Amino acid sequence: MPREDEQKLYDELVSLCYECVLDESRWPELLRRLLQASGRQQGGLLRQYKDSNFANISDVNAFDNAVITPYNQYYYRLDPGHLFVPMRPVGNWYHDFIDFGLGSIKHSPYYQEFHRSVGLGFISSIKLYETATSKAYLSLLTNWDTGLPPAQSGRLLLRLTTHLITAGQLSERIQHLQLDLAKRDLLLDNHPAPLWLLDSEGRVLYCNHAAMQRMCLNSFCLFERYSRLRSKHQDTSLQALIRRAAGKDGKRRSGWMRLNSTPPQELLATPVAADAHFNISLQQPVVTLILLEQRPQVGLLGDLFLFTPAEVRLAELLAQQLSPDDCAKALGVSINTVRTQLRSLFRKTGTSRQAELASLIGRLSQ
């Protein structure tokens, strides 16, 4: 292939790698083009999860149907590639005709009983990423009757390695973010209390189903204007509450305001850090605003303030006006442990004294 055509092909494949990051449906097309460019005929992505010792063929593949089910159900156990690929670092290609050897291939039951029967030949495989929960591999195979792949195809795969790895890692990261976002939305949408996530300017980033239903009522005091949450009669107080939680004065603090409504209602505003586990998709500090129509229990406040289970238990005792010494005895921990947890409660609730913290928890959990 002329050098100009080689460069054009390489550029097209690189572009396709990053299309896969933005659009997962492009992976089959990238696989098809890779097979064609590398002199292979079949292949696919294989995924391995932490509770499994072996990788199975995923939905992104260009294998004959006669290959997938037997491999995933039985022959993956015999695949000698599992002795090589998982132990190698990300980005290191495994070629069975080099690493396993032609002599071993001729005497391997896996190749002779399985590969030959379904028409599979030589394998080239690379680990795309490895996380605490999963790994992914890209495997490209020749057909049994085509012989060794051309040397120039190996050079092309080496040039593409960095881009294939980046595409795989970014795609995996985006899938996790999408899953985390879906979990968050599911939890928040099923929460009975109206709830909003706001940015530092008071713009609505998210509101759950209960909040949307409430804002559809003409009698409700909160509404959106130009994407910002506003109040019909207490807007100055609402914006001050949001600014305080957003840290406009340099310190992010939780707070609440009583609404002029019947029955009595309160808005609780709590700051959420950019790296909070349920905020990772937004990647910016946000404010959680929740409408309290009934006094929440400490467990709910723990969710809002991101208390740990131990901090929730301490907060419940503080709400009963127990001293730190009494709390330590009740919990069966040292006074130093209680003091450490107390400092964390101060930081998370924006309070600075025990009386102030106990007043906040007591008021909102009665």
202 touches 196 (CB < 8 A):
no
Residue 237 in 3-state DSSP?
A: helix
Residue 188 lies in a domain: no
Which are the contacts of 149, defined by CB distance < 8 A and separation ≥ 6? 38, 39, 40, 122, 124, 142
**Residue that terminates a domain, selected from 294, 326, 358:** 294
C-alpha–C-alpha distance, residues 171 and 350, integer Å: 38
Of the candidates 161, 181, 201, which is a domain's last residue?
Answer: 181
Q: Are residues 90 and 176 in the same domain?
A: yes
Whether residues 160 and 210 fall in one domain = no
Query: Is residue 201 situated within a structural domain?
Result: yes
**DSSP letter assigned to residue 80:** G
Q: How many Cβ atoms from other residues are within 10 Å of residue 75's Cβ? A: 18
pLDDT at 197: 87
One domain, residues 226 and 256 = yes
pLDDT at 188 (0 to 100): 65
pTM above 0.85, yes or no: no
Q: Establish if 71 belongs to a structural domain.
A: yes
**Residues 306 and 282 placed together within one structural domain of the fold:** no
- What is the reported pLDDT for 220? 87
- Phi/psi class of residue 147: alpha, beta or left (left: φ > 0; alpha: ψ in -120 to 50)? left
**Which pLDDT score is estimated for 251?**
78
Domain region containing 283 = 193-294
Same domain, 208 and 335: no
pLDDT, residue 228, reads: 92
* Rounded Cα–Cα distance for residues 284 and 205 (Å): 11
Considering its fold, how many domains does the chain have in total? 3
Domain assignment present for residue 186? The answer is: no
State whether 141 and 63 are in the same domain.
Answer: yes
Q: Which of 156, 181, 206 is the last residue of a domain?
A: 181
Q: Looking at the structure, do residues 226 and 277 belong to the same domain, yes or no?
A: yes
The pLDDT value recorded for residue 296 is 47
Q: Tell me, yes or no, whether 126 and 274 share the same domain.
A: no
One domain for residues 11 and 101: yes
Indicate whether 287 belongs to any domain. yes
Ranges of the chain with pLDDT below 50: 279, 295-296
Same domain as 319, residue 176:
no
Q: Are strands 134-143 and 204-207 parallel, antiparallel or unpaired?
A: unpaired
